[in-house]
Amino acid sequence: MSRRIGLLFCDGGARGNPGPAACGAVLYDPEGAVLDQHGQYLGRATNNVAEYRGVLLGLDLARRHDLQHVHLRLDSELVVRQLTGQYRVRHPDLIPLWEEVKQQLRAFAGWDIQHVPREQNAAADRLVNEALDRLAG
């Protein structure tokens, strides 16, 4: 049985903090081809809530493609450090999102997460901005 592996770039952002927010995720196969991508308008939220929503959106894409292993890449150092246990999650709006992400990650045989520079997350960032432009005006 072959291992189904995906590379997942996730992002979220708000115009204002809080303000109109959106998230985006792009899922790649091991050869770098796009398997799936989606941007979603969230309404009013903070940047950090939008970042977590981006991870949840991406994990949903990965599950839809029956992936067993997912390599997450985010430009949010805070979310990466919270998910790796380096930082505690203290904000009441983030605790349930953190718990949901941790629960969703249990569905995978393996996963890892890394912080990447914003430039390397351009495709997911584009989806965030397209969703904001479309629905936030």
pLDDT single digits (tens) 12-57: 999 999 999 999 999 999 999 999 999 999 999 999 999 999 999 9
CA distance 137 to 45: 16
Residue ranges making up the domain that contains 80: 5-131
Q: How many separate helices (H) and strands (E) can be counted in the chain?
A: 4, 5
pLDDT band at 91 (very low <50, low <70, confident <90, very high): very high
Does 24 map to a domain?
Answer: yes
- The CATH number that applies at residue 24 is 3.30.420.10
pLDDT single digits (tens) 104-131: 999 999 999 999 999 999 999 999 999 9
CA distance 8 to 40: 16
Does 136 map to a domain?
Answer: no
Look at the chain and report how many structural domains it folds into. Answer: 1
Backbone angles phi and psi of 32, in degrees to 5: 95, 5
- Angle between helix axes 47-64 and 95-105 (nearest 10 degrees) is 20
